[in-house]
Every structure is written in C-alpha cells, then in structure tokens.
Structure 1
Amino acid sequence: MHPRLTTTRAEATVFTMVLTQGPVTRVEIARRSGLSSAAVTKAARPFIEAGYLEELEATERTAPGAGRPASPLTIRANREFFAGVKITDDELIGVITDLRAQPLVSAHRRLTTTSPEGVVEALAELVADLRSDDPAYDERCHWLGLAVSGDVDKALGLVRYSPFLGWRKVPLARLAGEATGLNVTVENDVRSLTVAEQWFGDGVGASSFALVTVGAGIGCGLVANDRVVAGSHGVAGEIGHIPVGGEEPECHCGGRGCVEAIAGTAPIVAAVRAATGDASLTIDAAIDVAHAGNTAAREVFARAGHAIGLGIAAMANLFGPERIIVTGDVQGLAAYDLFEEQINRSFTSQAFGAAADCRLLLRPRTFEQWARGAAAVAIQTLFSSQER
C-alpha cells in the first residue's frame, strides 16, 4: 500500500496547479494561489525531492530587467502510474495512466457474471495483465480507481446501489483492495469523468461547470467553486431523475416521467420498436432507422432530446455553471445529431435569463476515457490535502 503524499493544503494547491496548469513558475503559482513565494517553495520541495516535480531550464525573468530567470516547475509524468477501470454490466475496461492521466495501455475483459465476487475476480486478472505490460507499471503502480454507475459512497468505498449491475451495499474498495493489493478508490462513473475533465480536460480553468452524459443512463457531474459536488449522501446532479414527462413512463428508480426513463438507451429502443413494429431492433439499428428518415423513429429521438434539454435547463437554472459539457459513450452520442436540435431548443426555452447563454460543448468519449476518469480520481485522492 502507498500512503497519500500530501499533508497540507498548500502542498496540495501547489502540486495540483503544476499538474493541471504546468509548466509554471513559482512566481506564477504564488500569484494565482495567493500563497507567499516562501510558502510555494516550501510546498514544492518534498515533491521535487520525491521525484514528482522537476525544474525546467529557466526561460523567463520574474520581471523585466529584474532578478534571475525563473525556472518553471513541471510534472515528471512517469514517476507514478495509476490503474483505472470502468465497470459495466457486461464488460471491464481498464487503463494504465501516467500522472497526467494519459492512458498508456488499455484492455477489455468480458464479464460472465455480475456477482460482486465474479466481477472482482475478473477485475484482479485484468489489472494484473495491465501491470504486466511494462515492469515500470508493476513497480510504480500502487493505486487503482474504479468507476461504477449508480449510488457510490467514495469515502466508504461502498456501492450503495447500482441498477445496471444489480448491486446493493457492495464494499467494492475493500474487496478489490484484497484481490489486487492496491490502494483502491471507488467513485460514481459520471463523477469520475467529471474529475478527469476538471483536472485534465475542458473543465480546466473553470471554477464551475457541469458534465452531462448521454447513454444507457442520463447522468450529470457538477463542479462548484473548484470542487466536485458529491452531495451529503453521495448523490448530486442526478438530472436523469428529474421528472419531465408527467406520470409516464415509469422509471427503474421508482419515480415516473424521469429524463432517463424517456432518453436512456433502453427506453429509446423500446419506443422505436413500438413505433416501427420491429421488435428485433437494437440501439444501433434504431439509430440507423432514424438516420434513414423514418418519421416515427425520429420523433422518438426528438422526444428524448426534449427531455434531456429540459433536464439540462433545470440544472442550469439551479446551478448556473460557466459551461456544460455534453458527452457519453460512443453509442449514445452516435445518435446525438438526432436530438441535438431539440436539446438546444428545449434548453433555450426553459433556461432562465442568462442561464440560456451557457455554452454547451459536445465531447464524445470512449469507454477508455471513462476508465481514465477512474484513474484521475485515484490521482486526485493521492495528492489531495488531508487537512479538514
């Protein structure tokens, strides 16, 4: 096991800034963070000594004509490696990343069971295979991040409820840690992807933003005041369960008219099957039928877009993010053009005032990127402040 490396808020601030915005000089770190130059130097020293940070050759002066050239600090990305795994109901997708959460190797493993014991056994085999790809991975990979859909308590490493896996109260961090010998973080998959966007993606530099995911479910991750919003009970940003369809249809959560019950993959497939009379259609076939111009199928996707747009508008009205990133798995976003217009129209009509001006960014993501998000959570956990 590998302990956390930071003990102070200043250390966490300095390291995070270099990691997400570097290379950057100590002077610039002090200016952006409000720390004194001495505090920045003190905070950076243990990371330099441990080999996580290094000084580049001086490229600029602290001020025109004054002082010696400043030496930017940068990350030694290969100092530590991280494993990340996205768990679906039929597959594990795993990656090894460097300190910047850049995937270096990836692998998929089909699941023959969704029992916690069976998934953990397959998980341990997958992680062992990934680490064996390079001796450095085996030597310097001490953390494993897991991303799971549903209600997850990150602090306890507990999957309270995952509808797609059929899990309730599964102590996944403990089970995976025992099976792999690694430090394990477990997080909701959407929040994991949000962390990756916050530290290494389109969320860098934004103190508040939202990430909306479209696919089997409709999820939403929130960042406010530079922090991912987890909710006091581990639930936050669940726009998929905002009721927008009245009393119908029934949702797996027990509610009615939820965004996810209208715009999730399974409801879309069921609605296109009913509209076309073809009970054999898959989601790929449903998308193809709609792309071919079938009016009934296109109306199903338009209704889904309307539901998503209303959900995003409700979130924007309540939260007021600087930007909204719309993403999802490749399959979900393959249909994006079918409901993009309706999403924008419904969002604009329902968003209040200036919230309607919030920029929507479309960013397709493969499942490897979701696994990268799991690794990003592990990186964040390792280098976060232990101060309360």
Structure 2
Amino acid sequence: MTRGQLAEWTGLDASTVTRSLRPLIDDDYLRESRPPPTGRSMAGRGRPVQALSVNPGRHVAIGVKLGPSTVSAVLTDLSGTVLARHAASLASADPATALATIGAVVDELLATSGSARQDVLGVGVGLSGHVDPESGSCRLSAILGWRDVPVREPLADLLDLPVVVQNDANTLALAEHWFGRGRGASTLAVVTLGIGIGCGLVLGDRLHTGERGIAGELGHLPLDPQGRVCTCGARGCLEALAGDTAICELSGCVSVAEAMSAASERGASASSTRAREAFRQAGDALGRGLAGLCNLVDPELVIIAGESAAAFGLMEPAVRESLAVHGFSGISAEVRIEVDAGQEDLWTRGAASLAIRAGVGQL
C-alpha cells in the first residue's frame, strides 16, 4: 500500500501516517518500493510514489499444534511462509509430558533451522477444547483429557520466549483470514472436521473468541437429545453425530479413509451402501449445524478444513439439502462454502499466525 492508501484506509491524515511509519521503516519492519503499474501514468513532478510492504524476514515465529499423540511445529517468517518444520510423538497427554515435548520440539526446530532465539517473535500454541487466552490455560479439553491446565506461563518459562495459547480452530481461522482462502472476507467461519468438530470465527475482520473463549464451539451444538454420547458427556452434540467416531461406527469401518474408500466403490454392495448412508447421516447433521451457524452469524464465507475435510464431498449433497431446509431466508443459496483439504502445516501455520499477531502487537 502507498501512504495515501493507508491514510484513506485508517482515516488518519497523511502527516500522521508518515510520522507513524518512519520508525517502522528505520527499524526495517517496513520497506519501500515502487508500486506496480496501474494503467495510469505515474509521470509528473514531485517525489515518486512509494509502496510500503512488510519485511517478512525481520522476525520469525513458531507455531505448535498439540494433539493427543503428536506435537507438530513450524517456523515461519512474518508472511506465514514455512521455513522449517519438526514433529515428535507424544508418549502421554499428561500435561507435564506434553509441555516438555513442546519444549524439545521447539529447541530442535531452532537448532535445525539455524534461527537465533532472539529473532523469534513468539510461540503460538493451538490445542483443542476450551482455551482461555487471557490466562493462557486450558479450561477443558475432552480430547486431551485436560481440565484447568496452565499452559502459557510454564511453557514461556521453559522456552524463555513469549507464548500465546488459543483454541486450534481459532488459530486456523486467523491463518485463513490473513493468508488463505479467507483473505478479503471480513466475516467468515472455519469449520474443522475430524475427531472433533471445531469452528473459528472472524467477525468484522477480527478473530472472535467470546467473553470466555468458547465462541465457535459448533461441535457441541445440541442437535439430538437422544443421540450418541459426546466426548463432553452430553448427548446428541453435532460432534457426536458427524465426527470421525460417528462415521466409523455408522459405516462399520476402522477409519474415515476406509469409509471413504467403501463409499466410493461402484455398485451397491452392503459395505458401500452402509458407508454412503454413514456420510449421508453425518452430512445431514453437519448441514443442520451449519444452518444454525449461518442463522446466527451470517458469514460471507464458510471454509471446511481439518483432517477429514477430504470427506466433505461425500457429505455435501446431504449438507446442502439440510442447510436449504433449516437455513433462514434462503441463506443456503448465498453463503459460500469452500474446502481447504490441505493437511501439511495447516494447524501449525495457524498457530504461527497467532504468534505473529500477538508479537507484532507488542513491538
């Protein structure tokens, strides 16, 4: 952007913008260059117009995804470009073991990438469940088996680096909004499919986590009081009806990948018919969940992501049908639904985005 564009975007006068930018240019956080041609002549008197852009190499950030069996991490520049990655198996989801494993993964990442610790803007950690970003603690994670576990402070002491902690679906929403399919959309929802069903919300260009950090818990939307018992202990949550466990139970398969293979078989064998019905039922539940989300939030865009996003195509007809029935005032025909089935670095890049946002805010 040029200074003039920044002034228009922020509503500040040109002199204030120029004064505010000078320290960032002097410290090499921003760099100047000639903007690309716009079709209009740039000829004329005076100083040539300069465009400003972030210097992505000024700092690096680390993003960590904590799962029930694996710790994955990436090191990125300020544009979210992955420079290095490392992962390790988690011997136990016990908090002490998990935090120690995160520390070892981060140390290995820095050692192998050649990055200096003083260049790290911060470490973002994403994990499932109810995460309180203010205290940096995990209030409840059924997948990890955690309740009231402090994460930020012990991890910051261990790493000697700033740490920010957030629900993993929220980190993914931030990454999609900044760098992915959600760029340019001011209101969007990222719905993650997998063992759990999560949702990150961006409202008015800001990550929305609610008063206590549980906004977007779409997976625990109650849909069927007589349905399967959810990991949270309640019956009939969306996660219990459309998550990986439900699909496996309904299809009789040991994994969603096996169920996808069975459902894609030609013909009408018992196994293929059962698998297709499993995805139909899961899709119907997911469509009702998305209808509730759209009726409440009215997003411009819904992005389907997560480990089982590749299965969305098998659910989609039922999703669309259910959304059309339960979505208010024809919203099903207007909301865009896109699938981001890419797996590598999806969650960890989101966590790094969280560290970038928090770190830049402290500069």
Shorter-chain TM range is over 0.9
Q: What residue number does 1:84 align with?
A: 63
Are 1:39 and 2:12 counterparts?
no
In the superposition, relative to structure 1, how do residues 92 and 385 fare at CA in structure 2: closer, same or farther (>3 Å)? closer
Would you say the 8 A contact 1:325–1:362 is kept in 2?
yes
Q: Measure how far apart 1:383 and its partner are.
A: 2.0
Q: Which amino acid aligns with 1:347?
A: L
Q: Measure how far apart 1:229 and its partner are.
A: 1.0
Q: Measure how far apart 1:142 and its partner are.
A: 4.0
Q: What residue number does 1:180 align with?
A: 159
Q: Measure how far apart 1:244 and its partner are.
A: 2.2
* Distance in 1 separating the partners of 2:362 and 2:62: 21
Q: CA RMSD in A?
A: 2.0
Would you say the 8 A contact 1:92–1:110 is kept in 2?
yes
Q: What residue number does 2:321 align with?
A: 345
Would you say the 8 A contact 2:324–2:330 is kept in 1?
no
Would you say the 8 A contact 2:143–2:231 is kept in 1?
no
Q: Which amino acid aligns with 1:290?
A: A
Q: Secondary structure at the match of 1:126?
A: helix
Would you say the 8 A contact 2:30–2:54 is kept in 1?
yes
Q: Which of these residues, 212, 216, 231, is aligned with residue 195 of structure 2?
A: 216
| TM-score normalised by L of structure 1 | 0.87
**Any unmatched runs of 5+ in structure 2?**
267-271
Describe how 1:180-329 pairs up with structure 2 within 5 A.
180-273=159-252, 281-292=254-265, 294-329=272-307
Would you say the 8 A contact 2:250–2:274 is kept in 1?
no
Are 1:121 and 2:100 counterparts?
yes
* Distance in 2 separating the partners of 1:305 and 1:198: 25
Are 1:355 and 2:331 counterparts?
yes
Q: Which of these residues, 14, 22, 25, is aligned with residue 48 of structure 1?
A: 25
Q: Which amino acid aligns with 2:126?
A: A
Would you say the 8 A contact 2:244–2:255 is kept in 1?
no
Q: Secondary structure at the match of 1:169?
A: strand
Range moving further from structure 2, 29-38 or 309-318: 29-38
Q: Measure how far apart 1:249 and its partner are.
A: 1.7
Would you say the 8 A contact 2:121–2:356 is kept in 1?
no
Q: Which amino acid aligns with 2:11?
A: G
Structure with greater contact order relative to length (CA < 8 Å, sep ≥ 6) = 1
**Residues 118-147 of structure 1, C-alpha deviations (whole Å, 9 max, x = no match):** 111111111011111233344411411100
Q: Measure how far apart 1:168 and its partner are.
A: 0.8
In the superposition, relative to structure 1, how do residues 384 and 142 fare at CA in structure 2: closer, same or farther (>3 Å)? closer
Range moving further from structure 2, 236-245 or 64-73: 64-73
Q: What residue number does 1:333 align with?
A: 309
Q: Which amino acid aligns with 1:259?
A: L
**Residues 302-342 of structure 1, C-alpha deviations (whole Å, 9 max, x = no match):** 1001111110111101111111111112xx12322211111
In the superposition, relative to structure 1, how do residues 76 and 62 fare at CA in structure 2: closer, same or farther (>3 Å)? farther
| Residue-pair matches, total | 355
Q: What residue number does 2:149 align with?
A: 170
Are 1:146 and 2:125 counterparts?
yes
Q: Secondary structure at the match of 1:51?
A: coil
| TM-score normalised by L of structure 2 | 0.92
Q: Measure how far apart 1:384 and its partner are.
A: 2.9
Range moving further from structure 2, 97-106 or 61-70: 61-70
Q: What residue number does 2:74 align with?
A: 95
Q: Which amino acid aligns with 2:338?
A: L
* Distance in 2 separating the partners of 1:151 and 1:101: 25
Would you say the 8 A contact 1:62–1:69 is kept in 2?
no
